Amino acid sequence: MKAIIIAGGKGKRLGKITRNIPKPMIKIDGLPILEHQIRLLKKYGLKDIIILTGYLAEVIEGYFKNGQRFGVKITYIKSDPEIGNADRLKLAKKHLSEDFLVLYGDTMLDIDLKRLINFHKNKKSSCTLVIHPNDHPYDSDLVETNDNQEIIAFHTKPRPPNEYFKNLVNAGVYVFSPGILKYIKSKKGVELDLAKHILPKIIGREKIFGYNTPEYIKDMGTPKRFKQVTKDCLTGKIKRLNMKNKRRAIFLDRDGTINYDPGNLSDINNFKLLPNTEKAIKLINSSEYLAIVVSNQPMVAKGLINIQEINEINKKMEILLGEKGAKLDGIYFCPHHPDKGYPGENPKYTIQCACRKPQIGMLTKAGKDFNIDLPPSWIIGDSERDIIAGLNAKIKTILIKKNQEKFDKCRPKTKKAKDLYSAVKLILK
């Protein structure tokens, strides 16, 4: 598979930093960003690389030449720095006869490319976007996926008020089939952008999927981001977050832990975050723990709510947290209940299952999806079921004390905290 790096823009937002040097050549930990990318591509066997240059192209070409010094083959395609990234990509069409990977030259990343490419192939996808949650969904263009990870909509900003969407954004890493290029139809005076102008056209015409990953992908297009990326590189954080490495997680119950629990929550208008919830999850985000919700939602089985309504409530949770600068890496819920006899119950879900806490199905599913190291991970919840699930999964547990309730089965290993914020501080301490 060939790899394409789009590296032709001026990097205006970085001001003086890019006056005499193209943005992809800015050094982080002693190496140009482009060299970090080329090393990553080579590591995963992608040695045939096309760099799409523009602004100060000679600086890039003079440094990398034909790529032999770096163990790769590099082809350059130079174009006007003012054209859009989609127009620039189309210039490589004659070089592309099979699926190819696309990166932006101002992005620092360390992701398991083999895992991404396998996902693309297994889905028989024509267009795969790397997506992830971020801590500012309110001012980001959002991507919506279904349960099969297929992208079904793009929601550009500004969006209608009082509507909620999944907190998933386009990370700017793609795997395309050559057929995608036919949708790029250049217009005089218009800088065509892949995300804004091209990808929305593909929905319904091609198989387009979202590959959701918690790995490190961050553009350094502003001085603030450049400073943060440099810090993350120097501390080794970028490499540690690769999916090849096991991560720790803090699993969170939802009702009564993240939000007020009115009992059988089924009305989205009744969903309200508990005090300091966003502070707690921001603390998790600032650590290297994953923040993952695992929630029993038996109201589906009882016929009080359906799956779509559960998803809408979870979207509201994501957006409310995002408005405060917090994000969740994953959300899992169990719609089952073993008891029958409820008026209007849904027999499809009135079953014994392996996911309803205190069973550990949601924990093990998340463990597989995110390559989580369970023993040093934690679960925080306000019920006995949460704690027993954690004990069954052999992870650490914290019980949020509620009305001074005492659960004998939770002792002696379980720690206690008055709320989620206190529990997270206890873990990170």
Over residues 116-156, the pLDDT tens digits come to: 999 999 999 999 999 999 988 888 899 999 999 999 999 98
Omega cis (within 30) before 223: no
220/105 Cα distance (integer angstroms): 10
Total domains in the chain come to 2
37 shares its domain with 81: yes
82 shares its domain with 171: yes
| CATH value at residue 37 | 3.90.550.10
**Range of 390's domain?**
249-428
Closest among 258, 138, 152 to 200, alpha carbons compared: 152
Structure tokens at 163: 């509507």
From 219, 240, 261, give the residue that closes a domain: 240
Give 20-67 pLDDT, tens digit per residue.
789 999 999 999 999 999 999 999 999 999 999 999 999 999 999 999
292 shares its domain with 380: yes
Is 403's pLDDT higher than 80? no
From 240, 261, 278, give the residue that closes a domain: 240
Mean pLDDT of the chain: 94
278 shares its domain with 208: no
Band of pLDDT at residue 91, cut at 50, 70 and 90: very high
What value does the mean pLDDT take over residues 190-214?
Answer: 95
Q: CB of 337 within 8 A of CB of 349?
A: yes
In the block, residue with structure tokens 């001074």 = 404
Catalytic residue numbers? 253, 255
276 shares its domain with 154: no
Report the predicted TM-score, pTM, of the whole model to 2 decimal places: 0.94
Give 351-376 pLDDT, tens digit per residue.
999 999 999 999 999 999 999 999 99
351 shares its domain with 217: no
43 shares its domain with 170: yes
What residues contact residue 37 under an 8 Å CB cut-off, 6+ apart?
Answer: 5, 24, 103, 105, 107, 109
Give 259-276 pLDDT, tens digit per residue.
999 988 999 999 999 999
248/424 Cα distance (integer angstroms): 13
| CATH value at residue 278 | 3.40.50.1000
233 shares its domain with 279: no
173 shares its domain with 277: no
| Amino acid letter, residue 86 | A
45 shares its domain with 147: yes
Structure tokens at 253: 């119950």
In the block, residue with structure tokens 């957006």 = 319
Residue 7 per-residue DSSP state: E
For residue 138, the model assigns a pLDDT of: 85
